[in-house]
Amino acid sequence: MAPKVYVDGQSGTAGLRLMDYLAVRDDIELLRIDEERRRDASERARLINASDITFLCLPDDASREAVAMLENPDTTVIDASTAFRTDPSWAYGLPELASGQREAIRASHRIANPGCHATAFILLTRPLVDAGLLPEDSLLSATSLTGYSGGGKQMIAQYEAADNSRLDSPRSYALGLEHKHLPEMSLHARLGHAPVFVPVVGSFLKGLTVSIPLHAAQLKDGTTTLDIVNAYKAHYDGEQFVRVMNADDDASNLDQGFFDVQGCNDTNRVDLFVFGNSQRMTLMARLDNLGKGAAGAAVQCMNIRLGIDESRGLDIER
């Protein structure tokens, strides 16, 4: 029998993108809530408990409430919010994190989908920490340039109303330096300190790039850009959704010297780049915040949990 799948929050930004991925699948049975009843707790509880897999595409508090509604011990929850990403009883939904992570996801009824900025940051740093190139006590900084869909329905409406020319320029935010992704970044990258992280939202729908600037002195003595590329290649060997760009090809990845933050849009892919020289480097990871940064990653986790090809349904352009 086809597994029953329900999306709580199916008319939100991440939920809509997830429904796009799921609606065309003939190997699952998609449970839909009546639009007018989408905030009706008893109807949501009924559907959650009738499902084999429930995706939560809700704000953190609503996710916690939804988890409290669970009575069916066989239901698997894949939560897109920040609520459970550092909870040890939940599997962190980043199969490429380290060896054993895919198996942890496959075995768990509780999967916490990673944050979009966090996915990019962790995929850049964890392999270097594991390889001993980046010390665990490193004091890092990072920026993220992101499209406005990352801010959900409200921010999309704000940008698309287009009555405010101040929104034409990129805007830094989270300037209290307490962005909600910091705990998952340091925990899953195995770093002792959270980075100084400044995201910047721009006037484009989707696409995200995290950059981590480094002086060579922050790395193990003698580490070159090529050593970093090789560490990524070793760590991500066989991963279909992580593409490591070769240092020698850096120029060909740029458009007349400029980086394209939207270059992974409509895919579930993450591209990793290492730019710079023997003194100064910048590590960059690019993804679609609604693809590998949210809904694509959630579908990948569902496929892993179901024990089927993890790329199923993810090859569709959207």
Ligand X SMILES: CC(=O)N[C@@H](CCC(=O)OP(=O)(O)O)C(=O)O
Ligand Y SMILES: NC(=O)C1=CN([C@@H]2O[C@H](COP(=O)(O)OP(=O)(O)OC[C@H]3O[C@@H](n4cnc5c(N)ncnc54)[C@H](OP(=O)(O)O)[C@@H]3O)[C@@H](O)[C@H]2O)C=CC1
- Residues belonging to the active site: 116
Judge contact between 16 and 35, C-beta under 8 A.
no
Q: Is 304 in the site for ligand Y (CB under 6 A)?
A: no
Q: How far is the CB of 73 from ligand X (least distance, A)?
A: 26
Binding residue for ligand Y (CB under 6 A) from 3, 20, 30, 38? 38
Report which residue's Cβ sits closest to ligand X: 150
Residue 210 interacting with ligand Y (CB under 6 A): no
The closest residue (CB) to ligand Y is 12
Judged by CB under 6 A, does residue 81 bind ligand X? yes
Interface with ligand X in residues 174-203 (CB under 6 A): 180-181, 199, 201
**Least separation in angstroms between CB 116 and ligand Y:** 5
Question: Which segments within the chain are labelled E, that is strand?
Answer: 4-8, 29-31, 53-56, 76-79, 91-92, 110-112, 141-146, 171-172, 196-201, 208-215, 242-244, 270-276, 280-287
Provide the total of helices (H) and of strands (E) in the chain, helices listed first: 9, 13
Q: Tell me how far, at minimum, the Cβ of 144 lies from ligand Y, in Å.
A: 12
199: partner contacted, choices ligand Y, ligand X, none (Cβ within 5-8 A by kind): ligand X
Q: Report the residue number, 140 or 290, with the smaller CB distance to ligand Y.
A: 290
Helix/strand/coil percentages in the chain, nearest 5: 35, 20, 45
210: nearest Cα among 126, 291, 117: 117
The only residue of 9, 93, 127, 150 in contact with ligand X, by rule CB under 6 A: 150
User: What does residue 247 show for φ and ψ, rounded to 5 degrees?
Assistant: -55, -35
Q: How far is the CB of 87 from ligand Y (least distance, A)?
A: 15
Q: Does 115 bind ligand X (CB under 6 A)?
A: yes
Piece of the chain touching ligand Y by CB under 6 A; list 9-17, 70-78, 91-99, 212-220: 9-17
Burial call 192-227: b when 16+ CB within 10 Å, e when fewer: eebbebebebbebbbbbbbbbbbebebbeeebbbeb
59 binds, among ligand X, ligand Y, none (CB under 5 to 8 A by kind): ligand Y
Beta carbons of 217 and 139 less than 8 angstroms apart: no
Q: Which residues of 111-123 are buried (b: 16+ CB within 10 A; e: fewer)?
A: bbbbbbbbbbbbb
What would the x/- binding string for ligand Y be over residues 137 to 176, using CB under 6 A?
------------xx-xx-----------------------
Quick one: which of 207, 291, 293, 296 contacts ligand Y (CB under 6 A)? 293
